[in-house]
Structure 1
Amino acid sequence: MTTRPEPTREQLLAENTRLTTELDHARALAADATEYRVHLPEHGGTTLLVRRQNHTHGSGWAVSIPAHGGGRAWTTEGWQESISALSVDRLFCWPDPTTAITEARRALTA
C-alpha cells in the first residue's frame, strides 16, 4: 500500500486560493440567475422549476412542477393547479430560491 505525501503549505494555500476564486465566480453567476431546475430523484424524478420575478415587478421567487396543461405551483396557500391562472403575488411568493426549494421539498414529503 502506498501512502500519498502530505501537501506542502504552499500547495494548500494555492488550492485554497483556487477554490475561493471558483466560489466567487459561482456566486457572481448565481446572482444573475433567473431560473433553476432542481431534479428530485427521491420524489419519483420530479423536477422543480424555480423562477425569479421580473425585477421591474418585484423580487419574489416562484416554484412549480411543470405539466401538460399548466402544472402546479407551490404557494404559501399550498399546491395550486394551473399556474397560468395564479396572480403574480400568489405565484411569486418566496423571498429567495433556497426558501422556495426547501418549502417545495417539504411539501412533497408531506
Structure 2
Amino acid sequence: MTDTDPRTREDLLSEISNLRAELERVRALAADATEYRIPLPENGGTTLIVRRQALVNGMGWAVSVPAYGGGRAWTTEGWQESISALSVDRLFCWPDATTAVTEARRALAAA
C-alpha cells in the first residue's frame, strides 16, 4: 500500500483470499483435465495437443502436432509420423503434461 493506493489492509487481505479460492478452483479443474491445446507463437503458430491416457490403460501423457494425414507425435524416440499408427505405449510416454510440453518445445526449438 502506498499513499496513492486507496485500498485498505482489509481490502488487500480480502483480495488475497479471493485469489487463493480461485487458484484452488483452477487447480481442481486442471486435475481433471484430459487434454490441453497449447499454441506456440514462437514456433510459427504450431499448436501442441497434450492428452492424458485413459486411466484404465495407464497414466501417461502424449504430445502431438496436428497435420494433414494424421500429424506427428513427440515420443522418447523422436517425432513419429501418423499418430494413429503408434502403439499406446509409444504414444503415451510422458509422465505428466508439463514434461510432455517441455520435451516438445525443446524438440521444436531444435528443429
What root-mean-square deviation, in Å, do the aligned CA atoms of Structure 1 and Structure 2 show? Answer: 1.1
Identity of aligned residues (%): 73
Distance in 2 (alpha carbons) for counterparts of 1:58 and 1:48: 21
Report the TM-score, using the length of structure 2 for normalisation: 0.94
Match of 1:37 in 2: 37
Query: What is residue 46 of structure 1 aligned with on the other side?
Result: 46
**Which letter maps to 2:53?**
Q
3-state DSSP of counterpart to 2:57: coil
What is the CA–CA distance in structure 1 between the aligned matches of 2:45 and 2:103, rounded to whole Å?
17
Q: Does 1:94 align with 2:68?
A: no
Aligned to 2:103, what secondary structure does the other structure show? helix
Residue identity opposite 2:7 in structure 1: P
Structure 1 residue 5 displacement after superposition: 2.1
Q: Deviations over 1:26-64 (max 9, x none)?
A: 000001100000000110000000000001000100000
Aligned residues: 108
TM-score by length of 1: 0.94
Displacement of 1:6: 5.0
- 2:84 maps to a residue whose letter is S
Q: Which amino acid aligns with 1:109?
A: A
Question: 1: distance between equivalents of 2:94 and 2:9?
Answer: 44
Paired amino acid for 1:60: G
**Residues in 1 aligned to 2:33 and 2:5: alpha-carbon distance in whole angstroms:** 41
Please give the alpha-carbon distance, in whole angstroms, between the structure 1 residues aligned to 2:98 and 2:12: 31
Aligned partner of residue 63 in structure 1, secondary structure:
strand
AA matched with 2:67: A
1:61 is aligned with what amino acid?
W
1:36 aligned partner, one-letter code: Y
Give how far 1:12 is off.
1.2
